[in-house]
């Protein structure tokens, strides 16, 4: 394992966060805070509890997951797309580093940014809505696992994209709608039976449900199933990334 190469890529990518602090950290934190103000403080106080949890607190895991998914994909896709765009990707491909080391550097940096952002959002949420975390270690595990998994997914999107507009297609038109429809603002048990069954085909349901269980001990899907679904998706992403480097798909063009 060439740790020097991993460290070089990791530090370079992480340093970009501090150069774009407003875009990388401040913007998503402010956007999520508006949700806490509107749905948590303003509307949440007038709504009843869901599964014994006040509405303002109930939506915190879903909102955090929304930011985590979006930022993980954005950070990782932009991180690998820019070397392709500028042509510096050839320096990485010609260096004595394996595909695993390249992925560790880029995905590790993207996941780190998302985890830092998630922690800041958790702290910020405390200013607007009181909440508790019953299983902090499991919550931290889900946080890290989700950040790593969707950073890998973002890496795939960054390789696939051949223009800046394509970097936003999946996050805006697929991930965000699935997150809103995946129980971020409600429990799927509140839906009619037919829609409950349809919603179970939404993969984000398992992420939000498992993450919410770590906070309040309530979930729409078993935590074991949520964990297994996340690990399975991570494995699929890893296989796709390996195939990308093996074939040079959109890396050597």
Is 12 domain-assigned? yes
Beta bridge partners of 50: 53
Local confidence band at 19 (pLDDT 50, 70, 90 cut-offs): confident
Is 103 domain-assigned? yes
Is 190 domain-assigned? yes
> pLDDT tens across 64-110, in order?
998 999 989 999 999 899 888 888 888 888 888 889 999 999 999 99
- Report the pLDDT value the prediction gives residue 45, as an integer from 0 to 100: 65
The residues, any chain, with a CB within 8 Å of residue 86's CB and separated by 6 or more, are: none
Is 14 domain-assigned? yes
Domain count, the chain: 1
What gap in Å lies between CA 183 and CA 72, rounded to an integer?
20
Is 202 domain-assigned? yes
Is 252 domain-assigned? no
What gap in Å lies between CA 193 and CA 198, rounded to an integer?
9
Per-residue burial over 74-97, b = 16 or more CB atoms within 10 Å of its CB, e = otherwise: bbbbbbbbebbeeeebeebeeeeb
- Report the pLDDT value the prediction gives residue 228, as an integer from 0 to 100: 93
Is 253 domain-assigned? no
Point out the least confidently predicted range of 28-32, 100-104, 155-159, 191-195: 28-32
Q: Which range of residues forms the domain containing residue 44?
A: 3-247
Is 37 domain-assigned? yes
């Amino acid at each position: 394992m060439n740790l020097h190469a991993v460290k070089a890529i990791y530090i370079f990518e992480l340093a970009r966060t501090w150069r774009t602090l407003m875009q990388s950290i401040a913007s998503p934190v402010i956007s999520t805070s508006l949700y806490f103000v509107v749905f948590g403080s303003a509307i949440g106080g007038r709504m009843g509890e869901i599964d014994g949890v006040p509405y303002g607190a109930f939506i915190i895991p879903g909102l955090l997951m929304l930011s985590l998914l979006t930022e993980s994909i954005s950070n990782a896709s932009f991180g690998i797309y820019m070397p392709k765009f500028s042509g510096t990707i050839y320096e990485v491909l010609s260096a004595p580093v394996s595909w695993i080391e390249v992925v560790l550097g880029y995905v590790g940096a993207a996941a780190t940014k998302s985890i830092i952002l998630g922690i800041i959002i958790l702290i910020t949420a405390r200013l607007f809505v009181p909440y508790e975390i019953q299983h902090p270690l499991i919550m931290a595990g889900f946080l890290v696992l989700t950040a790593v998994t969707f950073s890998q997914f973002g890496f795939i999107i960054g390789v696939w994209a051949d223009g800046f507009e394509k970097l936003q297609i999946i996050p805006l038109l697929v991930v965000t709608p699935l997150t809103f429809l995946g129980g971020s603002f409600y429990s799927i048990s509140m839906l009619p039976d037919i829609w409950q069954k349809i919603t179970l085909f939404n993969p984000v349901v398992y992420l939000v449900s498992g993450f919410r269980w770590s906070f309040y001990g309530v979930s729409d899907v078993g935590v074991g199933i949520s964990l297994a679904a996340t690990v399975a998706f991570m494995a699929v992403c890893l296989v796709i990334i390996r195939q990308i480097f093996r074939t040079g798909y959109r890396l050597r063009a």
